[in-house]
Chains A and B, each alone.
Chain A
Amino acid sequence: MNSGVGGHTGTKTVAAVGTERVAGLTRGAPRDVVAVAAGAVAAAWVVVALAGWRVLAPRDPALQTPSDRFARPGPEHWLGADQFGRDVLARVLAGARPVLVVAPLATALAVIVGTVIGLSAAGLGGWFDGLVMRVLDAVTVFPSIIAATLFAALVGRSRLVLILVIAATFVPIVARSVRAATLVECAKPYVEAARLRTEPTWSLLVRELLPNVRATVLVEATSRLGDAVFAAATLSFLGLGEPPGSPEWGASVSENRVWLTIAPWTLLAPALAIASLVVAVALLADALRRRVDAS
């Protein structure tokens, strides 16, 4: 619990208050074993994605050695080999990068755009707010996966399309959330005080309100990140994602479905990789949310 906020608003700037609030979220973190473990898993995948398979994997994930077709896990191939004799471990490690490029970029885009929209809608109020809410209602016609599937199938497969499509489906969610949090802030005295000071609106939004909804934005970001990994993996499972031959996990799961009875490692490895990453991100998002609610 942050005790710093209540008695010091008179002497600290609200920005400092906001920072304290965020810092307060991480205080006491080491006691939450699960969140730490989840953070470690997610961080591990990030390291793998950044370092690239060259650093960690013994073989080139694209190298086909037909003599090793469906090799079982063993000293030659730690996680076995697939239909083309490609090393499964290398492919799983290499598969981290596509997903960890698309998902964070899509999330960042969605969070930035959504925060701008939500913040300004709540801060400006009036007809603008009404218009924004109407538009947000209007664009939630389809569940996000269906919208993403539909437009990715129509517009074509490329990383850029994937990022834009996923981001577009998240913007309304982020905007609503940030708007709600901002409205809560707007009812507080410091906002009234700022208005009485005739502080310009943009300054009010950026300097006063934004820092105080930072926690909400952070929670949204981590939640959307998990959703983005989920969406990217699902779209590539449906064949709408990465280019062919890419070791992306969703596509690997789809391509190797039929081998479960004779070469289960080709299917299980990418499936477990996806599961571990999404669960880790979900646990992190959950831990963060609990702290925000607790503060």
Chain B
Amino acid sequence: MTVGSYLLRRLAAIPLTLLGASLLVFAATVVLPGNVARTILGREASDASVAALSAELGLDRPLPAQYLSWLGRFLTGDWGTSATLRAPVRELVLDRLGASMLIAGIAFVVLVPVALGLGLLAGLHHDRWPDRLISGVALGLGATPEFVTGVVLLVVFAATLHWFPTSARLPPGAGSLDTLWHLTLPVVSLVLLCTGYVARHVRASTVTVLASPYVRAARLRGMSSARLVRTHVLRNATVPAASALGVQLQFLLGGLVVVELLFDYPGVGALLLRSATDKDLPTLQACAMVLGAAYMLIVLAADLVYRLLDPRVRLGGAR
């Protein structure tokens, strides 16, 4: 199977999957009682007022009609208006998505060299103290939920030492340096979460490569370690890391909800949680759709990169 047809097949599956997800999300919103019109008007507004607003918002129509009408408009680019925020959903969600991708992107960019570097270091010194230190700390931090590390970072470095702001929210017109300063703590939380797994993968493959006949022969021929690392080890040990990085991406995205809440960052994860609690359906669906699409595209990209880098793996999977 060629790269092209594999790519097409995977891409084609995405919209159908998103459709199924949107149906599931819609079904879940009707499980709990609660009406967004009441949230808008408050508990002391009369039933009549709430009923009138419900009618205006189209909430009194039968459920399938509500879902289909939302779907129809969504597909044509009209993502509706947030009932609680009274803002057009599309701008709101896409803005937030960009903000979230900024943090995720920076975290990823930091993660790659850090994890590769640590893994290589651990592998090159395997079974000596640098390896044990790195492997141990990596495993521990990777297992610890990001809200634990995040809370400690927040309260120690921000609230107490004042080295970083307690809120990661970017002031308007912030320059790159200012942006990085604000985003340091949330990015560090995410990186701490994901580094361990990747580093340990890289370590393992480094160890394997170092034990391989080629490397042994090269050493015998007198090639220096540094040159070996640069020309051979680096390439061969880091390719498997691509799959490990791909796996970590889901934790990077998933960690966004907690990190955005902890560090007060207006991203799509925080909006998802808030709109789910408020039962603000247009916003919730839009967040779910963009997050789902982003996740599936990222997974697809990671998968492709891995398969392209590793020619031994045939596309389409072994059967």
Contacts and interface: CB of A to CB of B under 8 A. Distances in A.
Contacts of A137: 13, 17
Interface in B137-157: 139-140, 142-148, 151-152, 154-156
B250 A144 contact: yes
A293 to B, nearest CB: 10
Interface residues of B, number: 47
A234 B147 contact: yes
A230 B254 contact: no
A281 B143 CA distance: 9
B257 A253 contact: no
Interface in B245-288: 250-251, 253-255, 257-258, 261, 269, 272-273, 276-277, 279, 288
A135 to B, nearest CB: 10
Given A143-B250, A149-B273, A154 B148 contact: no
A230 B143 CA distance: 8
Contact of A282 (B28, B139, B257): B139
A279 B140 contact: yes
A230 B147 CA distance: 10
A167 B140 CA distance: 24
B151 A253 contact: yes
19 contacts: A138-B16, A142-B295, A143-B253, A144-B250, A145-B257, A145-B258, A146-B253, A146-B291, A150-B25, A154-B25, A154-B28, A238-B257, A250-B147, A257-B151, A261-B155, A274-B144, A279-B140, A282-B140, A283-B139
A220 to B, nearest CB: 15
Contact of B145 (A143, A278, A281): A278
Contacts of B272: 146, 149-150
A70 B257 CA distance: 30
Given A137-B17, A283-B139, A143 B144 contact: no
A interface majority secondary structure: helix
Interface string A273-295: 01100110111001000000000
Given A154-B25, A238-B257, A282-B142, A143 B147 contact: no
Contacts of A226: 143
A90 interface: no
B31 interface: yes
Given A141-B18, A278-B145, A271 B13 contact: no
